[in-house]
Amino acid sequence: MKKNSMLLVITLSLSLSLSGCGREGKGRVVSWDNVAISYDVQGKGEPALVFVHGWSCDKSYWRLQVPYFAKRYKVVTIDLAGHGESGLGRESWTMEAFGKDVAAVIEKLDLGRVILIGHSMGGPVIIEAARKIPERVIGLVGVDTYLDFERQYTEEQIDATLGRFKADFVGSTSKLVRGIFVPDADPALVEWVVRDMSSARPEVGVGAMRGLLSFDAKEALKEVRVPIYCINSDMRPVNLEAGRRYAASFEVKLMSGVGHFVILEDAETFNRLLSETINELSW
C-alpha cells in the first residue's frame, strides 16, 4: 500500500513539473516582476506561433485558431498579466511590461524561430516582446491593429478617456465593444464579447488603456527590424505610408464584412490569410 502511495506521489510530482515545460498543455512562468503568467501549448513544428490577446481579453479569444494551426506548428497562447488565468500584483500595466510577459514565456519554452501574432492591444505588446528577444523573432503579425504608427494622444485626451472608464467601467467597455462590430455581426457573439470584456478587472483595464494610449510605436520600432504584416478589418483605414516609414517592412491584408474581432467573426478567412503570411515570413 505504501509503495503504491509513493508511486502516486512521484507521478503527480512529475506531472506538475512538466506543466511548466515545453510540452503540450498548460504551463506557468514567473515574469520579470514575479507575476505568474499562464500559457497553453499545442502542436509541433517551426516557426512557433505565439498568439497575444487584446485589451481586456484572454487567450480563449484564439480558440478558432489553435486547432487549425496546431496541425502544423507549435502554437502558444498567453494570458498577459492581470488577464485570464495569469496573476495580478503589477503596479504599472504598460506595453513594455506585457512584452516582458511574452518574452518570459518564449524563453521558458526555449522557442527558436518565432512569429508573434497580436490582436488589438496585442500589436504593441508584440513589438515590445520583439525588442526583448530579437534573436528569436522572425516576424510580427498585427491583427486589426497598427492603424497609424504616427498617432499620438495628448495627456488631456488620455485623461478624458480614462475618466470615463474609471467612472463606469462596465458601461464604457460595453459601448466601446459594440462600436467596433459591424451592424450585421452575430448578436450572440457581440453579447458574449461585451459580457466578457466588461467583466475584466477595472484597475487592470484602466491601467492597460493608459499604457496603450501612451505607447510610442515610432520609438519602439527603432529596435525592431523584422517584417510586419497586418490582417485587418477594412472598417477603419490603415496609414500605410507611416507603417513603411517606421517598420523594416510593412504589408496589410484586409478583410471585408467584419469588425474588430476578425479572428472570431470570420475565422476561415483569417486563418487562410494568416497561413499565407506565415509562409511569406518563413521563406
Instruction: State residue 3's pLDDT score.
Output: 37
Mean pLDDT of 203-225: 97
Residue type (1 letter), 52: V
25-30 β-sheet, strand order: 25-30, 36-42, 75-79, 48-52, 114-119, 137-143, 228-233, 250-255
Q: Work out the mean pLDDT of the chain and round it to a whole number.
A: 92
Residue type (1 letter), 60: S
What gap in Å lies between CA 107 and CA 53, rounded to an integer? Answer: 19
Cβ(273)–Cβ(254) under 8 Å?
A: no
Instruction: State residue 11's pLDDT score.
Output: 34
Helices marked H in the chain: 2-18, 66-69, 95-109, 122-132, 155-167, 169-178, 187-198, 202-214, 217-220, 240-246, 262-265, 267-282
Annotated domain spans of the chain:
22-282
Is residue 18 scored above 50 in pLDDT?
no
Is residue 219 scored above 50 in pLDDT?
yes
Mean pLDDT of 59-66: 98
Band (62; pLDDT cuts 50, 70, 90): very high
Cell of 276: 499565407
What gap in Å lies between CA 125 and CA 30, rounded to an integer? Answer: 18
Cell of 168: 463606469
Is the backbone peptide bond immediately before 47 cis, with ω within 30 degrees of 0?
Answer: yes
Instruction: State residue 15's pLDDT score.
Output: 38
Q: How far is CA 57 from CA 114, 199, 232, 277, in A?
A: 22, 10, 18, 24
Instruction: State residue 283's pLDDT score.
Output: 78
Select from 3.40.640.10, 3.40.50.1820, 3.40.50.300, 2.40.30.10 the CATH code of 22-282. Answer: 3.40.50.1820
Q: What is the DSSP letter of 46?
A: S
Could you report the per-residue pLDDT of 231-249, keeping only the tens digit for each?
A: 999 999 999 999 999 999 9
**Residue 246's closest CA among 151, 171, 167, 155?**
151
Instruction: State residue 14's pLDDT score.
Output: 34
What gap in Å lies between CA 215 and CA 125, rounded to an integer? Answer: 10
* Axis-axis angle for helices 155-167, 169-178 (nearest 10): 110
Rg (CA), the chain: 19
Is residue 5 scored above 90 in pLDDT?
no
Helix (H) or strand (E) holding 229: strand 228-233
Q: Give percent above pLDDT 70 in the chain.
A: 92
Is residue 9 scored above 50 in pLDDT?
no
Instruction: State residue 4's pLDDT score.
Output: 40
* Higher-confidence position of 23 and 221: 221
Helices marked H in 70-216: 95-109, 122-132, 155-167, 169-178, 187-198, 202-214
Residue 250 bridge partners (DSSP): 228
Mean pLDDT of 141-160: 98
Band (43; pLDDT cuts 50, 70, 90): very high
Band (24; pLDDT cuts 50, 70, 90): confident
